[in-house]
Amino acid sequence: MAPWLGFLADEARPPTGIVALSWVESLLSRPPDDEGLYVAANLIALAVFRAGEADLARHISHEEIGYALRREARDPVYLLYALQPQINLLRLDGYGPDPDRALRGLDALARLAAGLDLELPALSISAAQVRRLDEAGLPVRKAARDAHIIDTCKLLWRLGRPDRLVEAADGLLARYPEAAGGGPHHAAEALWLAAPESQAPPPTAALDSGPRPAVHLAFLRLIHHTARLADLGETEPVVGLATRLLTRQDILGGPYASALTPLRWRAALADSLLRVGRADLAEPVLRAAHHNAFGDPQLARGTAERLGMAAHVPPVDRDAAVALAHRVLDRLSR
């Protein structure tokens, strides 16, 4: 699989660049609403980090947690709000000089996923508070589980540690067996990314029955199997499998947590076709993916490169992002 795409498993993908800034501006222009404030704060923290302002991103995350903890006694939803900025801090650690610190923090999320207390540098949640969240029907345990799976796999992939990724993926699938079928599918996909030669070819019949998440996982595995065949130069099998998968609008039509997911899947299949010399089949798919890739710089750049085009992905406007960040911080200081 081409490393430009990385993980293809479906997940909520926040907008980036100018789209993210416009979302934040829109949220801040509405009447005060704490749920909207947290969406804006998490988006702007990511935007300023991508603009090179990691310390400001950390400051926003800490202020989010403080704002939530000052209010959690009146409504447990604020503990759920506080979890995402703590996860954001772990992600920032993953880009620092000691990524193992981030991995240890992510492993600690397993306690919260199991209904136990959580102790992290910026956030503590007691077992009693977890029960309160459960009683309120708030999905804090699922949020912790999903972050543990997704962020562990993505961090190890980015670090270029396939051996540790396989070990971690096996451990995550053992801890959360329900994720193998129901998602998130990053641990199952990690085995195809890190050790494709060790994976058994998935049956195409799995696309025609079973719950939708299981069908999505089967499709995902077949994308990676197609890429593996392309690595081996197996032109006819690649063409046959990729073209069949690209016609499965019943699967590619969604719904997905992110509208970008089926675009990325199509682009991955087109990449396999391109690598076995079938540009005639690949390029129309890549053009369509590129046309709709606004908001996903990785997909936009990768499809442009494969089409021989210049990749026009504007950088984050640092000054605009910082100005919005200070407006968010003003709200969080209240």
Do residue 188 and residue 219 come from a single domain? no
pLDDT at 107: 98
**209 and 194 belong to one structural domain:** no
Name the token pair of 2: 């081409």
How many distinct structural domains can be found in the chain?
Answer: 2
| Same domain flag for 32 and 129 | yes
The pair of structure tokens assigned to 190 is: 């990690």
Domain identity same for 283 and 323 = no
Contact between residue 320 and residue 17 where contact means Cβ atoms under 8 Å apart = no
What rounded mean pLDDT belongs to the chain? 95
Q: Are residues 49 and 154 in the same domain?
A: yes
Q: Same domain for 58 and 207?
A: no
Q: What is the share, in percent, of the chain residues with pLDDT greater than 70?
A: 99
- Domain span at 250: 202-292
81 lies in the same domain as 137:
yes
Residue 6 lies in a domain: no
The predicted structure's pLDDT at residue 237 = 98
In angstroms, what CA-CA distances link 154 with 13, 100, 149, 166, 169? 13, 13, 9, 12, 11
The answer on pLDDT for 92 being more than 70 is yes
Residues 6+ apart with CB under 8 A from 7: 153, 154, 157, 186, 189, 190, 193
**Same domain as 275, residue 173:** no
259 in the same domain as 149: no
Encode pLDDT of 282-308 as tens digits. Answer: 999 999 999 999 878 899 999 999 999
Question: Are residues 262 and 182 located together in one domain of the fold?
Answer: no
Examine the domain organization and report whether 35 and 131 are in the same domain: yes
Q: Per-residue pLDDT tens for 137-190? A: 999 999 999 999 999 999 999 999 999 999 999 999 999 999 988 999 999 999
Could you tell me if 139 and 235 lie in one domain?
A: no
Quick check: is 3 in a domain? no
pLDDT value at residue 294: 80
pLDDT at residue 310, as a whole number: 87
* CA–CA gap between residue 45 and residue 201 (Å, rounded): 41
pLDDT band at 236 (very low <50, low <70, confident <90, very high): very high
Task: Supply the pTM of this predicted model.
Answer: 0.95
> Is 70 exceeded by the pLDDT of residue 199?
yes
